[in-house]
Structure 1
């Protein structure tokens, strides 16, 4: 059951059994006044907060019991008045101060009831928060999917994109930055062990902060005047001798050696490119 304090309009949940043992007297824990709740009981909070006689335009008339209580209170106030030496009272009751009834020994202390809908409001707030988070993750996931190939090549962004892709089960292209590969040495010389051909050697180092895919090597042999003689591209598994070369480690020199057949025309030079 529920009731409403006529003073501060706070709604309380009331135990009927305890209310009967206290003869209907209730102590408001918010404004600390005592009121009789037997005439203002409701089944729901909404009924308890509906307009009560205390909210009507005209104040309710005092019943016989309340009239007697008021008269006794006025008599006690007159008897308790202290007079000074000049015969004038040194203390008098404030006529505008609300009269608070003495707390009965069997009154029920009623804690305020939390307004209906507050729990729903909290759940709604949580729902909005979770929904906003989900939309943010979805937007970031779409950014990773559509802009992933370009953003995945940024060293500072790749770790964050990989974190976003894990829950979305997406994959990023291999990290590949050719400008972060430094060529330490390269040479073209006659092949050893009496092989009729040439040997091309190359040493390169990955200077990026992340391991990256091995590049494809494009090698061109030219005449003395620069005219091309032969051009060929070598995939990582060809110049590394491994079916699955993996990723190029960071800061470790990688040596490449390729045996080339002697062309029909005399070689005057060479050029290469990482692609």
Structure 2
């Protein structure tokens, strides 16, 4: 068999062993070019003179071999019974990849941080509400809601003082009927606030004809209120109450009096 170098066009004689050893790829001993010897492989040389050996078409289908000289028998050894049983038992077994298990185990737990943040937020809201408790209780919208909530929880809101919402409905002064040299002053007080107020400090001033103060008395709630339970409850919203004060009579010069709340 013969083949030709595509570069220098040198023709070489080759045998089947050489072709099989190199899988058809050889090198030209004249110019050193590597080439596929199968492309121009020929059994006989054409008559001289010739220039190039005819090249084989690369698209030609490979020849099909039909006559088999030898065919080995298949190995038909039976599969062991134990292996078949084990394969059936573990046919439905699902194996989780190691990287998937590690990812699930190493996933950070975020719920403790979420709970801690919520607790801190609730604590901050509670502190802010306690700092603004007087404003919130006195608010006409928030105050009733807080009172209803506290009543449902059986707690008591701290009392807020707003003397501007205390209105004096009536007042009167007269000589004490049983104590000589004393005056009996009565007044009707109403709480127009939407929240319970503590009992106020009452200031009584007696004046002469020129408006000059000739006597003054400042009375704390425990001095004019004997009911301890009423003193603890405070003055309910919208409630009216009668107050009675016993003061010393400064004489005939006192012709007017004034009452204020603190």
When the two structures are superposed, what TM-score results if normalisation uses the length of structure 1? 0.51
Please give the alpha-carbon distance, in whole angstroms, between the structure 1 residues aligned to 2:179 and 2:163: 35
Query: Contact 1:197 / 1:262 at 8 angstroms: preserved in 2?
Result: yes
1:160-175 alignment, distance < 5 Å: 160=146, 173-175=158-160
Task: Quote the offset at 1:116 in angstroms.
Answer: 1.3
CA 1:18–1:144 in 2, change beyond 3 Å: closer, same or farther?
farther
Q: After the TM superposition, which residues 125-144 of structure 1 pair with which residues of structure 2 at under 5 Å, given as runs?
A: 126-144=111-129
Q: 1:154 to 1:19 in 2, by over 3 A?
A: farther
Give distance in 2, aligned partners of 1:130 and 1:150. Answer: 30
Change (3 A) 1:209 1:153: closer
265 and 190 in structure 1: CA distance in 2 versus 1, 3 angstrom threshold: closer
Whole-Å separation in 2 of the counterparts to 1:252 and 1:162: 18
Question: What residue is the counterpart of 1:213 in the other structure?
Answer: 198
Give a deviation string over 1:13-71, Cα, whole Å, max 9, x none: xxxx99934276459xxxxxxxxx8xxx67x631xx6xxxxxxxxxxxxxxxxxxxxxx
Contact 1:148 1:172 in 2 (8 A): no
Which of 82, 86, 97 in structure 2 is aligned with 1:20?
A: 86
The answer to whether the aligner puts 1:271 opposite 2:258 as a matched pair is: yes
Contact 1:162-1:172 at 8 Å conserved across structures: no
Taking structure 2 as the reference length, the TM-score comes to: 0.53
Matches within 5 A, 1:42-53: 45-46=98-99
CA distance in 2, matches of 1:222, 1:190: 16
1:116 alignment partner, one of 104, 115, 122: 104
- Inter-partner Cα distance in structure 2 for 1:163 and 1:129: 27
Change (3 A) 1:163 1:45: farther
Distance (whole Å) between structure 1 residues aligned to residue 84 and residue 180 of structure 2: 109
Give the alignment of 1:141-156 within 5 angstroms: 141-156=126-141
Match of 1:261 in 2: 248
Q: Does the residue aligned with 2:104 lie in a helix, a strand or coil?
A: coil
- Paired with 2:169 and 2:246, the residues of 1 have a C-alpha distance of 20
Q: Structure 1 residue 139: deviation in Å?
A: 1.1
Whether contact under 8 Å (2:134, 2:160) holds in the other structure is no
CA RMSD after TM alignment: 3.9
Gaps of 5+ in 2: 1-82, 151-155
Count of residue pairs the alignment pairs up: 172
2:24 is matched with none
Q: 1:211 to 1:150 in 2, by over 3 A?
A: closer
Segments of structure 1 that go 5 or more residues without pairing to the other structure are 1-16, 28-36, 50-112, 165-170
In the TM superposition, 1:99-114 aligns within 5 A as none
